[in-house]
Chain A
Amino acid sequence: MKETLSKLKFWYQKAGELGAQYYNAPYRAAIARAKREEDDLFMLLVFSEMMGVPNPASWYCLELQPLLLERFHDWHQRMGMEHSPLDNFRCC
């Protein structure tokens, strides 16, 4: 009985995984792209002050900067800036 239950659970999980893949497969790229665009906008807000754009929430953005630095390089390249636009932070 226990074995049957665990087998059933395994098949349910497997079916769930395949179902989720089937749901996502056709639109995975479009959604990932939309998410990236949102992230880019957020990144722009966080780093806006450093690029001379006044930001009333700069204190909070400053706190967030270390969390985003890892993705900073990809972001500035995507934005069309070959090298880091910030004087005090050179990632490349």
Chain B
Amino acid sequence: MSAIVLLVLGLGGMALGYFFYSRFIANHIYKLDENFKTPAHEMEDGVDFVPTNKFVLWGHHFTSVAGAAPIVGPAIAVIWGWLPAFLWVTLGTIFFAGVHDFGAIWASIRNRAKSVGSLTGEVVGKRARAVFMIVIFLVLLMVNAVFGVVIAKLLINNPGAVVPVWGAVAVALVIGQLIYRFKFNLAWVSLIGIIVLYGLIYVGPSMPITLPDSTFGLSASASWILLLFLYAAIASLLPVWMLLQPRDYINGLQLFVGLILLYAAVIIANPSVVAPMINMDLPANTPSMVPLLFVTIACGAISGFHGLVASGTTSKQLNKETDARFVGYFGAVGEGALALAAIIAATAGFASLADWQAVYSAFGKGGVLAFVNGGATILHAGTGIDAAVASTMLTVMAALFAGTTMDTGLRLQRYIFQEWGEIYNIKWMGKALPATLLAVASCLVLAFGAGGADGSGGLLIWPLFGTTNQLLAGLTLLVITVMLVRRKSPTIYTLAPLVFLLVMTLAALLLQLKGFYDQQKWFLLGLDIVVLVAAILVTLECAAALKDEKRKAAEAE
């Protein structure tokens, strides 16, 4: 089958979702009001609360939520065949992610732009909030540990990407200085920055860099992971204007260029999908598709992490309430489009079914490397870009996304430690450097504790990241649903995704629990139990909060 069919059906479906379903939700469920004074106007302070143009805000929201996850998840999940992944990404974006992200912004602006965490405390209860804090810490911990492994793997498999990946850091540092210190024109700086970045991608393959197989007894993978965490720790301590801001900006531009090129290449080259529609010939030890599909693809279908961004910074900058539909729902569509590109690259970028099967020889084997190799084949065929350069380009795209998410993730984790330092009056923990070291140490314990000497623990816990992330999405949907009950609006559009997510998450956790016990993986077993307890508590909180609200609504009538 032609990949163009997938592209047209997927993007077409999401476009219909945006034009019709999101309008229905905006008008009849959330009942957006153009005249509602948003917190950006009501509490405008030029710092946190600033009314922002909706296109700009969409760009900010989309690039903040798009990390490596919409690439990694779908590229692993196509092991069950392209159809399940395609359906979950398309329908998940239309009926789950769009409603969730858009709802998170709406719920936040209706409550003075509070974050989902404090909203949970106020709308649902203090116990739910305590669970929320645990879940968010686990999500951050897993994101950092997982992305460290993903980048290390990418750099080992494509040594030509080392120069552009680390070169991008230098480019960002120079851009930051040029804009802030020397007040250079942004348009010229961005243009030169992009040209230099793509120049590095072009020369990268001719200057491959590999680490020695063993350094102080550490494998190349372990050395890269340690180097990456060292970098992330330094980046999270530097002022944001110096590295993070220009790095995110240049990354955002690169994402737009990369996505446009990839989609254009699919249309020009018209590759065939070689992967089976539904894979009946699954490799040994592949877990069951239901429920694992729904937690393997989190970002790109529905992700709790989006709720944090939506209610954290996006809601404080929303100019009009009606903009929430464009920023939130269309932001989810952007992420869905990235996941769709990952599915096409990982199923249509191979010469034959045998080639595809060779890559997908075991669960978790495909992943981001399948995206890079498959995508590079399509890019080469469609645009004529040299195969090595195309593969470096996609490696850099994935690695930079994982890298910026790690920077931000580590910074957020540091804040949590600093907050705990203040709450429990542990003075040294309240300071930036020790808190950063603690954050890095906790990630390294996970990476090396679960994965052994090569530090690949992050990837082993990927399904646990999915479940934890979906739990977070469940909590956000719960807050929205409770608010809808109070406003006497129909709740089925948020309640149905909430129930579905909780059922799938609980089922996945139980299945994994048995698996970890059988394989005697005690570290993962312990972590699984923590997430499972959180999931059960969330489910109970959901039931109690909704019952309580419905009773109150009935009494009021």
Contacts and interface: CB of A to CB of B under 8 A. Distances in A.
Given A16-B187, A21-B53, A29 B60 contact: no
A12 B185 CA distance: 12
* Residue among A23, A24, A26, A32 with the highest chain B CB neighbour number at 10 A: A26
Interface in B24-62: 46-48, 50, 52-53, 55-57, 59-60
Q: Is the interface of B mostly helix, strand, loop or mixed?
A: helix
A34 B242 CA distance: 12
A25 B186 contact: no
Nearest to A34: B239
A15 B46 CA distance: 22
Given A19-B187, A20-B186, A22-B252, A27 B244 contact: yes
Contacts of B46: 32
A21 B187 CA distance: 12
A18 to B, nearest CB: 6
Interface in B180-227: 185-187, 190
A29 B52 contact: no
Contacts of B252: 22
Contacts of A33: 47
A2 interface: no
A40 to B, nearest CB: 14
A17 B257 CA distance: 20
A26 B245 contact: yes
Q: How large is the interface on B (under 10, 10 to 19, 20 to 34, 35 or more residues)?
A: 20 to 34
A29 B56 contact: no
Q: Is the interface of A mostly helix, strand, loop or mixed?
A: helix
B241 A31 contact: yes
A84 B352 CA distance: 77
* Residue among A21, A23, A31, A33 with the highest chain B CB neighbour number at 10 A: A23
Contact of A25 (B52, B187, B190, B239): B52
A67 interface: no
A20 B317 CA distance: 15
Given A28-B50, A29-B313, A33-B47, A16 B186 contact: yes
Contact of A23 (B47, B53, B64, B245): B245
A92 to B, nearest CB: 20
* Residue among A21, A22, A32 with the highest chain B CB neighbour number at 10 A: A22
B445 interface: no
Q: How large is the interface on A (under 10, 10 to 19, 20 to 34, 35 or more residues)?
A: 20 to 34
B47 A32 contact: yes
A41 interface: no
Nearest to A19: B186
B249 interface: yes
Contact of B249 (A16, A18, A22, A32): A22
Interface string B88-124: 0000000000000000000000000000000000000
B240 interface: yes
Contacts of A24: 245
B240 A27 contact: yes
A81 interface: no
Contacts of B50: 28
Nearest to B316: A29
A27 B241 CA distance: 8
A1 interface: no
A9 B186 CA distance: 16
Interface in B232-274: 239-241, 244-246, 248-249, 252
A15 B191 CA distance: 13
20 contacts: A15-B187, A16-B185, A16-B187, A19-B186, A19-B187, A21-B56, A22-B252, A23-B186, A25-B317, A26-B245, A26-B248, A28-B47, A29-B47, A29-B316, A31-B239, A31-B240, A31-B245, A32-B46, A33-B47, A36-B47
Q: Rank and list the top 9 A-B pairs by shortest CB-CB distance, nearest first.
A: A32-B47, A25-B60, A21-B56, A27-B245, A29-B48, A30-B240, A27-B240, A22-B59, A22-B56
Interface of B: 46-48, 50, 52-53, 55-57, 59-60, 63-64, 179, 185-187, 190, 239-241, 244-246, 248-249, 252, 313, 316-317
